[in-house]
Amino acid sequence: MSKTNAGRFFEDFEIGQVIRHATPRTITTGDASLYLGLYGSRFAVHCSDDFAYRLNHPSAPIDDLLVFNIVFGKSVPDISLNAVANLGYAAGRFLKPVYAGETLSAASEVIGLKENSSGRTGAVYVRTTGLNSSGEAVLSYARWVMVNKRDPSAKPKGELVPDLPARVDPAEIGAACPTFASKRYDAALAGSVHRWGDYAVGETIDHVDGMTVEEAEHQIATRLYQNTARVHFDQTLQAGGRFGRRLIYGGHVISLARALSFNGLGNAFHIAAINGGRHVAPLFAGETVYAWSEIVEKAELPGRLDVGALRIRTVATKNRPCADFPFKDADGKYDPAVILDFDYWALAPR
């Protein structure tokens, strides 16, 4: 019997299966600094202990997407080692803040399976939960991924496409953000004067700046998350694949788009929930990422006068600035430059 792990193939999954993922990870300030160096994110609450303390955090919380990417990385060897592509996200909630010194672990439940018409692959739906040192859930989200079959003739162990909500109810978000006195939020230090009330539903914001993806930075980032997916690392294997080169990890694109969104959304300081997301097209090293956002919805949070929620759709493109807000055509087809369509709730001070 082999002692190495070839990863699960589509026919190895079954609905209701619960998988505990290996390698708990203690998060350090070094991880936070490396993440900052990779993406240049400028949201003050993640950069400054003093700023975070004014918002009733004991210290600067770990960036929401660093938590997301580390939890995601835990799941890769068990869920998507043999993936063709990660297809989408839904029903994600950040449940508790995470601070340096805490240890994250993760587990996933298989909530759906759907064989593709080709018979060579299938979609695996999982709900992944990230846990802190005390065993408390800090993050929960659903994702679905296209996974290769080992044997094209194998049949799935049941088929079910789960009914996932189009949005997270805003009444269920905000738990990872302590309450604070609004006057303690220093807009000058945050880098933006625009608060929750200054945004209007339907407003679109071009984030202006672009960031070219370097192969070395992507490799460091993906290793930081301990994401072992072969499509990101093994050029010898990928040379014979569909694209002939390694793919940039989708979470890298999300983090880049979020960092770019600071220019226009500088006070949208905390991602509270992920409503949905889709990696529309692949990204490769050497290409430049741009982004724009639309304010889809606004919501007050029960019992919270300090913050309000903005439902934001951030669209990222490659090699195409976003002054004209590229998205879909009249037939609903994405502009060829679009690589990410990401729908989330963020909190902003009132």
Q: What is the DSSP letter of 79?
A: H
Enumerate the H helices of 60-142 as residue ranges. 64-79
Neighbours of 30 (CB within 10 A): 9
The whole-chain average pLDDT of the chain stands at 95
Q: CB within 8 A of 28, min separation 6: which ones?
A: 100, 101
User: Against a cut of 0.85, is the pTM above it?
Assistant: yes
Distances (CA, A) of 230 to 25, 32, 64, 80, 245: 21, 25, 25, 9, 11
Alpha-carbon gap, residue 18 to 20, rounded angstroms: 7
Predicted pLDDT of residue 138? 98
Give the CA angle between residues 132, 162, 6 to the nearest 5°.
Answer: 65
- DSSP-derived 3-state class of residue 165: coil
Q: Give pLDDT tens digits for 25-62.
A: 999 999 999 999 999 999 999 999 999 999 999 999 99
Amino acid sitting at position 174: G
- Buried b / exposed e across 3-25, counting CB within 10 Å, b at 16+? eeeebbbbbbbebebebebeeeb
For residues 308 and 133, the answer to whether their CB atoms sit within 8 Å is no
| pLDDT value at residue 331 | 94
* Per-position DSSP letters for 196-262, written without gaps between them: GGG--TT-EEE----EEPPHHHHHHHHHHTT---HHHH-HHHHTTSSSSSPPPPHHHHHHHHHHHTH
Half-sphere exposure of 109 (CA within 13 A, CB side): 7
pLDDT at residue 170 is higher than 90: yes
By three-state DSSP, how is residue 309 classified?
strand
DSSP string, 42-68: --HHHH-HHHHHHTT-SSPPPPHHHHH
- CA-CA distance, 231 to 246, in Å (whole number)? 6
- Please state, in angstroms and rounded to a whole number, the distance separating the CA atoms of residues 36 and 39: 5
pLDDT value of position 270: 97
Tokens coding 9: 């193939």
Q: Which domains does the chain have, with CATH numbers?
A: 10-151+165-349 (3.10.129.10)
pLDDT tens digits along 252-298: 999 999 999 999 999 999 999 999 999 999 999 999 999 999 999 99
In tens, the pLDDT along 294-321 reads: 999 999 999 999 999 999 999 999 999 9
SS3 250: helix
* Cβ-based neighbour number of residue 315 at 10 Å: 27
Q: What is the CA radius of gyration of the chain?
A: 20
